[in-house]
Amino acid sequence: MTAPDHTPGPAGQAPPPAPLTLDAEHTPVDIDTPVLDAALSDSCAEPTGDQPLAAPAPDERDALLDRPRPTGAAHRRGPFTKGDRVQLTDPKGRRHTIVLEPGRQFHTHRGALEHDALLGRPEGIVVTSTGGTDYLALRPLLVDFVLAMPRGATVVYPKDAAQIITYADIFPGARVLEAGVGSGALSCSLLRAIGDAGRLVSYERREDFAEIARRNIEAFFGGPHPAHTVRVGDLAQTSERDVDRVVLDMLAPWDVVDAVSAALVPGGVVCAYVATTTQLSRVVEALRGHGTFAEPAAWETMMRDWHVEGLAVRPGHRMVGHTGFLVTARRLADGVTPPVRRRRPAKGALPDAADAQAAPDPGTTPGDSGPVAGW
């Protein structure tokens, strides 16, 4: 999650991204990532069950090391190659992440591991250190990467990112606007969902956070993502139009409701992630009072793991409790008035209701609990 006080195409070759800067008037500056066009060669196919689990020949390994770096499924398949992130897990469940480079070693208090012992090998193998400790080698999942990556702002936790993807209905090819890129954790999930054919424009007020996020996103995808643009600036200044979804992870999302309404297509979804009940109340009332959104929905989620070993089944001693609240609302068509709420508000929920409750009823006298008896 982001802490409440944080500030928040087609394939082809393109030049390297422009440096991350602000102009003299502090207006948004694009950081357009280049488009990648890559595919795995036949030499990257996984071995069949009949093939021995052996390192490839030197010429085959050299070809693997120079393999292009796609952002899609091919980047998550095939043998380990140069630049791949590998998660090593020891028998006690401790995890270490390394980036493969030919000729390098990874040193632990239980001995060293040669990177060359992993290059060209498939995922899911077990390698042994010089000290005799076995390590399971796998590519890290997105959840592993997010929880271990360098941070500027606090990240949106995986349980919340998963719900944002589902309840905001982020689909392949979607045009998404994001405010508050932070450390890039949520951006990774959004980019995964929209794919290379979608478009994600991320606004971040702080230049240092934008740079951290860019590095994290490139580290996870193996290079700049073709669908991603980072803009250093305020979402309130955006000129984006006809976007399908807007995701807000910022201190005061109610300040950009006008910009969100102007950017969204009819039927589009806005999803806000806030940390406190005060923020929750303000953003819901801002969406409700704007007049261009359907009735907002708000909720939070808590997650608890379970220990399962034979018949010994019990809840874990730790759980991920409150991290933040989620709010979603749909954009109405222009000129449409939202339906009047039919639910009766709770006593004291609104100032008018509280005043009405405090005023004496003409049909009662002080001390009575009901109308004056008619005798």
Return residue ranges of the chain for CATH 3.10.330.20: 42-139
Give the pLDDT confidence of 110-128 residue by residue, as tens digits: 899 999 999 999 999 999 9
Q: Which amino acid is at 120?
A: G
Least confident residue range of 62-76, 187-201, 247-261: 62-76
pLDDT at 39: 34
pLDDT at 75: 73
CA distance 168 to 332: 15
Tell me which residue of 213, 205, 203 sits closest to 178, measured CA to CA. 203
Considering the four listed CATH numbers 1.10.10.10, 3.10.330.20, 1.25.10.10, 1.10.3720.10, the one that applies to the domain covering 42-139 is: 3.10.330.20
pLDDT over 50 at 44, yes or no: no
Return residue ranges of the chain for CATH 3.40.50.150: 144-330
CA distance 294 to 89: 48
Fold (CATH) for 144-330: Rossmann fold (3.40.50)
Q: Which two tokens stand for residue 254?
A: 């109610």
pLDDT over 60 at 370, yes or no: no
